[in-house]
Structure 1
Amino acid sequence: MSSLTQVGWYWNRLRCMSVSEIVERAGATAGRAMVRRRLPEPVAAPRLDRVGVSWLPVTVPALRGVALQRADEVLSGQWRIFSRLMGLGFPPEWNRNPDKAVLLPLTDGKRMSFRATAVVGDIKYLRELNRHRELVVLAQAWQLTGRERYLDGIATLLESWFAECPHPCGPNWSSALEAGVRLINWAIVWQLIGGMQSPLFERPVGKVLRTDWLGSIWQHAEFICGFRSSDSATSHPLIGELAGLFVAGATWPQWREAQRWRRVGRDGLEREVLRQTAADGVHKEQATGYQQFVWDFLLFAGLAARGTGKPFSETYWRRMEAMLEYVAGIMDSGGHVPLFGDSDDSVVSGLSIGAGACLFQSQLATGAMLFGNPSLARKAGVLDPRTVWLLGADVCTGFDRLLLQRAPATRRTDFPEGGVFVLGSNLDSPDELRVVADAGPLGLGGVAAHAHADALSFTLSVAGRQFLIDPGTGTYHGPGKWRHGFRGSAMHNTLVLGGEDQAVSGGRFMWLRRFRTSVLEREDGPDSDRLVAEHDGYRRLPGKPVHRRSWLLDKRKGCLRVKDQVFAGTSQNVTLYWHFSEDCNVTCTPEGLSVSSGPICLDMVLPEGGAVSVLHGSEVPLAGWVSRGYDLVEPSTTVVWRGSVMPGEALETVFRRL
């Protein structure tokens, strides 16, 4: 990136920040610069007579998941980075980015820049490798089998990491969030292998490993204290950093600093869970991928606090329950959750990758047991191995009791603060029709980094099969056309004016000009559901247009009518985009379009007039794609309608189940 481009980038960020945020960031930057100028402090000597709390039940569950398979993959040098199985060796080179196989230097980690992806590769690949979730899988495998090779594997990986990643040098000392994730996984491993008295530490070489490990734990926690996100950042990295700090303080009280780690972590998390999550449970980044990421951070910190005998507040836990009720509301009967906003496949714990279950359904099962909530149990459907590792073997009986209560699986359908509404008939049954409409704000904070320009978009599922989808994220650091395309308005089921996005982008993780949404009507009756909302994102265009959309679902006929209107001073050129799942087959008929997925069929009738095109895997224009995983895209089908409308003229699109 040229110096001129960097100046423009920073200027755009400043434009999006409040005065208080600018002042706080400037103070934090100055403080961090002073920290960098100091030589690294010597590691404080731990008191080995102090034992941390045990916040995991160390019992071998009957539900094993795929932990053994994953553990054997790791020992053979095969690592799962995002959805790819990569041969990186055992141990891997911890500073070599799996993307482009570039070996990054051991310079000051906090001064390293990773924007030149053509040179250093996408840094997310390297960070995935260094989150150490695989160590958790090895610890699980040792618990399940008692085989020493899994314990030896943990030792080999740790020893190599300490040797190759000296504090504070290299890419693995560049992010406080990554330090927090590592600490959480290390804490899980520590407990699963027996803590301070683990067999891993019995021999002299093991005692050296324990000393090195404790020293790195102290460095990680102090690194977070020195470089954590500013309190004004109000986004998920801050929650992850605070969670890692608290978990470290609870698991390893061997230093006097541990009390400070717990205090800072507790106070920050109690504050941020309310600042970053609406009362209705929608995380304000408006990104379902980060919704699950944040919930796990809150969970691990909450379990650690409970283990100390000083649990977090009831308000904290109630907000976590609300977050799960939101997920239950937007999840269809097939277990699909809309891909609203950004997602980078972030997973906190190796307990998840060793379970082999859907992350959202696993969280619902865990929440069902934590809160005694039968609706969450019904939505989860089954108890997964991760929940048993987290809460103990006795949860199996308790989960069955919750299922027998036959509570409704979808307890709430309206999430007004988050701006998400569910319209549906026969919810959570084989005949379900579920519409999830997004009438919410753009995102969180001054730049809304992980939000998409998706005002008044929606998804449509029938009988647990996805029809209209949110195509997902694509990439963060890959080609710009994919990054900007997937977060733009045209890649969502909404109306676009003049080929423009509803919000003005300032970069890959920045929106310069936002939109405001307003819900005008909401009715939920026995025979029909209705929602009317509008947004002002296009008022910057000639005629100052406002887009209004209404959804009317006839529950008895299985018919959804979507009406779009543009209120402006002049006529407008409009485009309607309809993105279908890759499992859908779309064909033209004399009356309109026929869309099928397996045995389920829909008729689709488009507005009269205009030009219709059906695109599949198109790069110009970018349409007909879906991204089910980070940095992965595959062809799907997009139906596009283009035309011109007079002010207030209605365009109606009809979907009818056959």
Structure 2
Amino acid sequence: MASSSQHTLMRYFETLRHLKPGQVYHRIWFRLARPKPDLRAAPSRRPAAAQWSAPARRHPSMTGATSFRFLSEPASLDEAGWDDPARDKLWRYNLHYFDDLNAADASARAHWHGALIHRWIAENPPGKGTGWEPYPVSLRIVNWIKWLLAGNVPPPGMVDSLAVQTRWLMGRLEYHLLGNHLFANAKALVFAGLWFDGRQADSWRQTGFSILAREFDEQILPDGGQFELSPMYHALAVEDVLDLVNITAVFADALEPRLAPSADHWRHCAPLMLRWLAALSHPDGKISFFNDAAFGIAPNNHELAAYAGRLGLVPSPASPGPVFLEDSGYARLELGEAVLIADLAAIGPDYLPGHAHADTLSFELSLFGQRVIVNSGTSVYGTGAERQRQRGTPAHSTVNIAGENSSDVWSGFRVGRRAKISRRHVEFLPERQTATASHDGYRHRPGRPVHTRTIALDGQRLTIEDTISAPGGNPAEAVFHLHPDVSVQQDSEAHGTLTLPGGKRVNWQAEGGRARIAPSSWHPEFKARHTSNCLVLPLRGGKSRLWLNWGGDTAKGSKFRP
């Protein structure tokens, strides 16, 4: 057994060895650099060549002229200020985003918005505090420009502040993080570089386009998925791309010939990204929970599809049917009343796994339009114990060995050892759909065990078969987390019933060790916790099977034979 110091050294090695060399250099530079704000007056504004289309709408976050509700937590700006250390950093970030400027019914709050912008400028001196970190700067630049493009009149100082913020961002680009942060930086530069005119705006625009030329095809996979493999962050990426399509159409005459192909490429990719989002969503029209994912952060699917329609893009169908997203590694099985979404994927980009969970080979299931089997969701960020638990394998509907994690998620946004997928195969036949894959995330344990899961959907029955190679010394159990609205009954050690809202009943039967029902929780939004149950099935001799049947006599509650 490795000592604690050896374990720590190995964890750091496995975490750091995947970083790109530039990330290390830029992290040092970012910490040491001390840029000074450039307070010169703003460049002139560029006249629009076309009409701005209304963007996707979030739920309002302003509950009064100086009061807000973010992440299910209310607060007053007059009491908390702009940088209250008692608030989580993500809450403070949201305060500085200004998402409410473009939320539902924003025009009715325009007088609040103008006053809030004026107050932000007066109370957040350039370069000071959370509001001047590059990510909130990037989102705020975009939100302010969207608000102005909607026809609102800028309050005194707003236009000059936009220029100061953009100049500041040019010196604080997040090359040390890459991923969605750098993408947001580049998007903001494109927005400012198109909205403003002149040589400085040209520099902003060209820098933004140059970053996106490098990042877009790396971050958006050929099947349309965003490479962090989180449905929530994918939805945010869809919004980003639709916004870029929108702004480049409004200022199409400002695009040099070498930039126009990028705008065309974004427009071409947007429908594919919408299709991916639909494939990773349940029949209720909301996202599934793989990696960091929660409701209420990104615009919902309906809003994004409607936004695409206003831009003249063909929106994705409500259901794409069964599909294997091979580049991402997710499979959607859909047959009759069943929709199952399976994670046969890597945890995400090796150099950027901060939003990864140890959820390899987990799945989510809906029956009759109701979520039945779920993953934990995400209700907290940070580095606390609850964040660690929600990222861990036991919080997901998959197999864990000895309660350990299949990938070594740690410290809130770090991953050491990573599970690697092999032997992945998906098949869709008229009456039967299957998905199977293996992973080696427990290779550090005795015998280097490999977990293999086979999922089969046929007729009105689902079969989940799990095997662990080298079971000796590797006690394993399959955990199936149930949606809070699903009640579970156990009639014997291997049989029971699930009852869905509305009275639909699903028989379950298990083969392996003695099945049991255990308490669980579901976290569909930040700061939200719903008590639930899970069905736990130990693997006996390294094997287990679970059958679910919702056809024929199931409605009467009779047992069935697998």
With the length of structure 2 as denominator, give the TM-score of the two structures: 0.87
CA distance in 2, matches of 1:559, 1:138: 42
Asked whether 1:451 is paired with 2:395, we answer: no
Residue 593, structure 1, aligned to residue 465, structure 2: no
Question: Does 2:454 match 1:550?
Answer: yes
Match 1:80 to one of 50, 53, 69: 69
Does residue 613 (structure 1) correspond to residue 556 (structure 2)? The answer is no
If each structure's helix is expressed as a fraction of its own residues, which one has the higher value?
1
Question: Which residue number corresponds to residue 496 of structure 1?
Answer: 400
Q: Does the C-alpha gap of structure 1 residues 139 and 526 become closer, same or farther in structure 2, counting only changes over 3 Å?
A: closer
State how far apart, in whole Å, the 1-side matches of 2:451 and 2:422 are: 11
Mapping of residues 222-301 of structure 1, within 5 Å: 222-230=167-175, 233-253=177-197, 256-301=199-244
Q: Is the 8 A contact 2:58 2:103 kept in 1?
A: no
Structure 2 equivalent of residue 43 of structure 1: 39
Paired residue type of 2:72: S
Corresponding position of 1:405: none
Q: Which residue of 435, 440, 444 maps to 2:340?
A: 435
Pair 1:418 & 2:328 matched: yes
Residue matched to 1:213: 158
Q: Distance in 2 between matches of 1:341 and 1:644?
A: 29
Is 1:325 the counterpart of 2:290 in the alignment? no
> What is the count of residue pairs matched by the alignment?
537
**1:615 maps to amino acid:** A
Identity of aligned residues (%): 20
**Pairing 1:573-592 to 2, within 5 Å after superposition:** 573-590=475-492, 592=495
| Aligned: 1:652 with 2:548 | no
Give the residue type in structure 2 aligned to 1:514. R
Deviation at 1:26, TM superposition (A): 4.3
Q: Which one of the candidate residues 516, 525, 528 is aligned to 1:632? A: 528
Counterpart code for 1:74:
G
Return 132-141 or 332-341, whichever deviates more.
132-141
Q: Secondary structure at the match of 1:606?
A: strand
2:483 paired with 1:487? no
Q: Residue 53 and residue 225 in structure 1: after superposition, are their counterparts in 2 closer, same or farther (change >3 A)?
A: same
Consecutive unaligned residues in structure 2, runs of 5 or more: 1-6, 555-562
Per-residue deviation, 1:507 = 1.9
Native 8 Å contact 1:546 1:567 kept in 2: yes
Distance in structure 2 (CA, Å) of the matches to 1:297 and 1:95:
26
Q: Residue 111 of structure 1 aligns with which residue?
A: none
Contact 2:373 2:480 in 1 (8 A): yes
Matched residue, 1:203: none
Contact 2:537 2:544 (8 Å CA) reproduced = no
Is contact 2:445-2:474 (8 Å) kept?
no
**Offset at 1:333?**
2.3
1:131 Cα offset (Å): 0.9
Change over 3 Å in CA distance of 1:627–1:279 after alignment to 2: same
State how 1:49-128 maps to structure 2 within 5 Å: 50-53=45-48, 57=52, 73-75=63-65, 77-84=66-73, 86-89=74-77, 94-97=81-84, 102=85, 120-128=86-94
Query: Do residues 338 (structure 1) and 288 (structure 2) align?
Result: yes
| Structure 2 CA distance for partners of 1:256 and 1:491, relative to 1, 3 Å | same
Residue in 1 that maps onto 2:438: 534
- TM-fit CA distance, 1:234: 3.9
Look up the SS of the partner of 1:560 in the other structure. strand
**Do the aligned partners of residues 58 and 331 (structure 1) sit closer, same or farther apart at CA in structure 2, a change above 3 Å counting?**
closer
Task: Give 3-state SS (helix, strand or coil) of 1:45's partner.
Answer: coil
**C-alpha contact (below 8 Å) 2:58/2:102 kept by paired residues:** no
Q: Distance in 2 between matches of 1:56 and 1:238?
A: 28
Deviation at 1:473, TM superposition (A): 1.5
Report the Cα distance in structure 2 between the residues aligned to 1:489 and 1:66, rounded to whole angstroms. Answer: 32
Alpha-carbon spacing, 1:20–1:502, altered in 2? closer, same or farther (3 Å): closer
Aligned to 1:190: 148
Unpaired stretches in structure 1, ≥5 consecutive residues: 1-7, 103-119, 143-149, 201-205, 353-358, 380-408, 427-431, 617-623
Shift of 1:514: 0.6
Q: Distance in 1 between matches of 2:104 and 2:436?
A: 52
Query: Partner of 1:146 in structure 2?
Result: none
Counterpart selection for 2:107 from 117, 127, 141:
141
Per-residue deviation at 1:442? 1.1
Q: Indicate the SS of the match to 2:238.
A: helix
Separation (CA, whole Å) in 1 of partners of 2:160 and 2:469: 63
Q: CA RMSD in A?
A: 3.0
* Alpha carbons 2:360, 2:398 under 8 Å: kept: yes
**CA–CA distance in structure 1, aligned partners of residues 223 and 59 of structure 2:** 34
What's 1:389 paired with?
Answer: none
Question: 2:125 is aligned with what amino acid?
Answer: P
CA distance in 2 between counterparts of 1:313 and 1:65 reads 25
2-structure distance, mates of 1:10, 1:220: 40
